[in-house]
Structure formats: C-alpha cells, structure tokens
Structure 1
Amino acid sequence: MLPLSTQAFLASVFFIYALFPLIPSLSYNFHNGQRITQIFLLTLLSIYLLRKNTLYLPRKEITYSVAILLFISFISSSISNFPLSSLLNTLHYGLLAFITLLFINSDRDIKLLFIVIFIMHTCLIVICTLNIIFIIFDNGFFHAHNIIMKFDNVRHFNHLQILILPLSFYILKRTKLKTLVGATIVLNLLILTMSSSLAALVCYSLILIMYVTFKMYEYLKSALSLTIISLFLFLILIAIEPESANPPAFLSDSGRIEMWLNSIPDFENILFGIGSGNYQIRLNSVVLSHPHNFVIQIFVEQGLISLITCFYFLFIITFVFLKNRHKKTTNQEKVAFITFVTAVIYSLFSGLIVMPITQIIFVLIFSQLIECNETTKFNRKLKIIVATITSIYFTLSMISFYKLEPNTPKMAGPSFWSAGEKT
C-alpha cells in the first residue's frame, strides 16, 4: 500500500484526536478541544498548500460564488460591532475553501479518510454501547447525555451519526466483515433513536428515499433490515427502563420555531448582515449563538446577497451531479452526494455549519462533488494572499483561545468557540 499523502495524514490525525473516545480534550470542553485541533489542521494544510505550484481549477460558477461569499463576509465583518471575532470566522471559512482544493481529484485520499472516520466512529459507538450496558446494570434511565462520549451536546453527536450512515452502508457493501459493520450500524441507529431527534429522523428517512431515487436497492434493503433490528432493541430497552423516566420527545421543536420567527434582520442589515459569527438571540433566560438553520444564519450574519449566492452555489453542485448521472457515476460519488444533500437538509434544523468535525467532512464531500478538470498556476501573489490569511487567522485564533474564560457565563450553543464570546 502506498503511504498516505500529507493532507490525508494530517486530516487523519484530526479525526483520530477528535473522535477516539479515550483521548483527553485539549480544552475544558470537547468543542473547544476539537476547534483548537482544527485550527492547527487548517494552518498546517495551508502551509503544505503553499508548496504547490499548481491548483485544480473549479468551475467558474463555483469559483465566483465562493469569491463573492468571502468578499461580502469581509465587508460585513468590517462594519460589524465585533470586527475582530467576525474577521476570524471569515478567515476560517476562507481557509476551509482553500483546503478543499487540496482534496479535489484525490479519490484515494478520500477513501482512506472515510475509512478512518468510520473506524473512529465505530470506537465511539462501542464506548456508548458500554455506557448503555452500565445503565442497564444500574437500573438507570437511558438519557442520551449519559451515553455519548467526546461531545458536549448529544445533537453534535447526532450530526456525525447521520453523516456517517451513508458511508457505513457503502462500507457494508464493500467489505467481508459484514457482520461487524452491520452491528455498528445497528448500534448507531439505536443510539440515534434514543436521542429523540426529529431532525435526525427526517434526515435518515431522506437517505432511504435517495437510495430509491438512485436505484441503490441493495443499500435500501440492508438499511431497512438493520433499522428493524435497531428498533427491536430500542423497544427492549424501553421495556426495561424504569417507569418514571421521561418519554422520548420526538415532536419537540426545542424552541427553534420561536427563534426563527424572531431572527428576521433589521432593514439596515439586510444586504450585508451583522457580521459572520455575530448571531445571538435571547429565549427566556438563554442566549443562543446560532439559529440552528444555515439559511437564517447566513441571512442574518452576511445578508441577502450572500444568501442568494449560497443558494446558487448549492444549486450548481446539485445540477452538475444530476446532469452527469447519465454518465457512469460510481457508488462513492453517489454516497458523497447523498451525504451532501443530507447535510444541507440537516443544516436547516441544526448547526452543522459551525461544528469543527462536520466542517472538515464538508471539505471532503465538496472536494468529491466539485467538478475540476483544469489546473491553474499557483503564483507568488496568490501564495502571499494565502500566507497572509493563514498568519492572521492563526494569530487571532490563539489570542481568542487564550482569552477564553471557563467560569464566565456562556451563550448556549457554540459559534466559533463554545463560549460564543465575541470580545
């Protein structure tokens, strides 16, 4: 087997640290530990990027869309009430865009990284299953927060569970270890059901519908069979749980509808927004730092122009994939597209776009779906721009991390850091 490429090795280290359940966090909580590792990952990948002499050139529509989004984000950050923290968010998304170029046309790297993610996720699932067994022996309640590991919030774990499922079924069809992989999927679905997430249920149903749409009937058959097994196990756990436990709240909106209705931006901010990462809203005694909806977040933080551009960007990716379906589309490309659609829909109900792990998964997915057949010269001027962005980004990140105070009041829900602080 050929050695891992540099970018694949660095990304593998990130996923191993972020997901392996027995590695301690670098911070006082898991989100900030994942973020600080992501910052080092992006910085090191940017340094490696600077060694390149050529870059893959995406379709012009993609290039212009991303350029407009970043340009508007810089404008909104500069005129916001918290320009430095907002600039940090903008630089962060800019580096994510540059790093995507490193993985374009790197099918082997993507396959290896998918395997790493699946293995680390399996380790997480095993530990979570052990927690379930301990709860059974203690005659306790199956609260999801008592089961999950490596995440501060069960919803952050649900993000990963849903994004891993299309990959898991793909691996199930390509491995001889079908029993082991199938058991992992069953346990994943079991824990997902125990978390009582309506958004996750909707997204999993969407995955099954897309299996039908793309005529992936073997995947659908396996998914339905394993789902039945997981539901059977779930009913057993419910039957042995003490009667005083709270019933699963699948139909709860967790205050999202009220938050969305109160998130309409002022007219003066409708074009450029209030600055990337600056969203906040008070619901009763809780201050939330993101709206759990990427459309509202982009509209509020970066304005109407960015929102329209983002829709166009997503449309181009979808249009190109569906247009090329008459050609021979591999199952790996279908899995990437199914994961992409699932992530977009899930982002309408939850904050996938602000989480460190899901952001890197987005990079891998986009690199699979962005059509790039040409290369462009990576000249000195472009390298100076990337080097400048990386230097400012790393400096601001370290300063802001150093200033985080673990004992001060925090916003509920992370933005860049889990604290949601902007000073």
Structure 2
Amino acid sequence: MLKELKRVVVTGMGAITPIGNSVDEFWKNSIAGKSGVDLITKFDTTNFKTKFAAEVKGFNASEYFEKNEARKYDLFTQYAVAASEEAIMNANINFEQVNKDKIGVIWGSGNGGIQTFQDQVEEFIKGGKIPRFNPYFIPKIIADIPSGIISIRHGFRGLNFSTISACASSNNAIIDAYNYIRLGKADIIITGGSEAPINESGLGGFNASKALSTNNENAKTASRPFDVTRDGFVMGEGAGALVLESLESAQKRGAFIYAEIVGGGMAADAYHLTGTHPEGEGAYLGMIDALEDADIDASKINYVNAHATSTHMGDESELKAMYRVFGERNDLNISGTKSMTGHLLGAAGAIEAILSIKAIQENTIPPTINTTEVEPEFVNKLNLTLGKAQYKEVNYAMSNTFGFGGHIATTIFKKFAA
C-alpha cells in the first residue's frame, strides 16, 4: 500500500558567501545589489588570463574548529560546517527531543577538495622519489566528507551521502532531501552544498575551457547575466545550508517555518560536455518537471532565480527556455544573482535557494546588477529585475541550476500555509 507523501518545510538556513557570512548579511547585501567580486588575493594571478573572483571575506575557521581539527579539512568542508552550524542553530533543534536516527545529511559539491589535491601533488613532486602525502589527503579531497563531518559533529545517524552533478550539485542534494523526507525515510535532513575552487588549478582549468570572464579592467561588473557584452562567468566560493523537515516534525516541536518546498525537477541537456543546448531543451524539461511535481501551473510562479552565469550560450539558452515555459509575463520577476556572488559552482543552488526563500519571506526580489543591454530578442519580454530590488508579493519561487555534463535541477518553494 502506497504511503501518503509528507509535506516538507524549511526550518533553518545558513550561508557563507562572497557578500556575507550569515544569512542576514547575505540577504541584506543581495537586496542592496552589492558585488562580491574583486581581484584575487589567494594567489599570484600574474600568469593567468583571469585575475578576479568572488572570494569569501573574513572567514575564520577557528570559530568552528580547534586548530588541529581544522587541519584535517579542506576549505570546502570548513565552509560546509560553518553554514550547516548556522542552519542547525537557526532551526532551534532540541537534540534531547528528536530522534537522531531520523536526521540525515545530504550535501553537494562539484569539485571537492581541489586545493588539497593541488597542494599534495606539488608536495609529492618536491619530494622526488619519496612519497610525501598527508595522512588526511584522501579524506580532505573526497566530496562526501562534509556530509560525514556534519553527521559526526552532531550524532545524526540517518541517511547520509553526497551528490555530484557539477553546478547542479546542491540543488540535486536539496531535491533528494525533499524526496526522502516526503517518503518518510527521514524526519529532518541538513542539506546544501559548498565549494572552495579559487586556486591555480580551478582558475587555470576554467580559463582553459574558456568558461571564465577575462574582463579584468571591469572586474566588479564582469558578471553581467543576460547582457550582450557578457564574456563568461566569475568564479565564486562558499556554502549554503538548509534544514528540511517534515511538516509533522516541525509542528510537533513548534519550529518556525520559512517556506515549504513543493517541487523538484530534473533533466538532462543530452547535448554537450560543457555547453548548453542552444534552445534550452534540458532547462525547459527541468522546469516543467518541477512544475508538475508541485502540481501547479507556470502562471503561479512569481519569481525565478535563474542559473544565469553570464556565459554567452548559457544565458541565451536559459532565456529561451524560460520564455517557452512562462511566455511574455512582465509580472514574473527573474534575477541573476550570480551578478553579485559570482558562480559558486556546486554550492550555487544552495545559496540561491536561500535567496528564493527569503524572497518569499520578505516579498522582495533581489536584483540583477551590472546588466545594461539585454539580449535584443528578450527586451521587454521578460522582467529581469535590473539594477535594484523590487517589492512584490511572492507566493511561489523557482530556482534553476545547470551543470557541466548537461545536468539540470530545478526547485520550487512556496509561502507556507498550515
């Protein structure tokens, strides 16, 4: 006999981003249209085509780890722990009153410990014939470690794994968490994603694939989604965390509910290793799948946080897909918030889910900054929320993420009503 699917709500959020190391700071700066992009400080970029990125500022690992413990974790894991700690505290969970066997962790990352991998290979080369690897080398680089560490820190014994689908990773993690809770496999799941790719390997690799902007003279405004002058994405770093919970569990413990998650859509472009389908076929299918899962018509959506990385083909194909789904709707707000945060790769879906939820909670749409000349085909056809935040009633918000390999993941959040 089939069980009735449970309703799933959001009861906690946490963020480490280029424009704020808490949800409140992140939201405040997003609404203000603040750019987190600047020249790279982590290493010498003299020999690199791109010399800027959206770095996290003021992060202090000692706030979360003892000195010797911090050395065990790559920065992407440190970001994950920091964001998840805020989300768990935000959710106000009394661990004496919940069943930790029914609390899980699902975490996403596209690159894992890329800094550790680079450092250790360099160390090995220096060592000549004698291998010189850190005993924590493997645990520091593998992408599943954040989910393991979060569960170990709190004794969460429920389901535990990671998702890897490039820049769709954390949206896939959120969708998996949503599905497992509504199936009754867990009461609470901490989910999200983290990345720390701003290093020589990350920058050099994406430069080689011609994915990054090289607009060094205008670094702060280089991420300009939908603009005809866009020339590639701006790399970002950080983490976003959500506490998803069954409505029954949340109500039982009197939790504050930020929003309800009602849809998760997945598809594939089935087109190219790194490029998007020119007509946005996968993006269209993912959005339609999410709408069908939520059992709502496209007209119900008030806000779309677009993937909008500021790449030429990627933005154009997403615009085509959104126009195909929504038609000519000036009452629908769309924004490309990577114009402020840069592209957090596997963590993008998590921080953009937070913005989508806050848009619902605050009835405020974060802007697309830096964009002045929209693709001619879509001028006055789609409301791209240019320049400044807009205030309006938001009952449903959609968040898109697409990854290398053609991975598509779309989530839908709803204003909570008991």
TM interval, shorter chain, is under 0.3
**Structure with more helix by fraction:** 1
Larger radius of gyration, structure 1 or 2?
1
Tell me the TM-score normalised to structure 2 length. Answer: 0.23
**Which protein, 1 or 2, shows the higher relative CO under an 8 Å CA cutoff with sep ≥ 6?**
1
**Structure with more strand by fraction:** 2
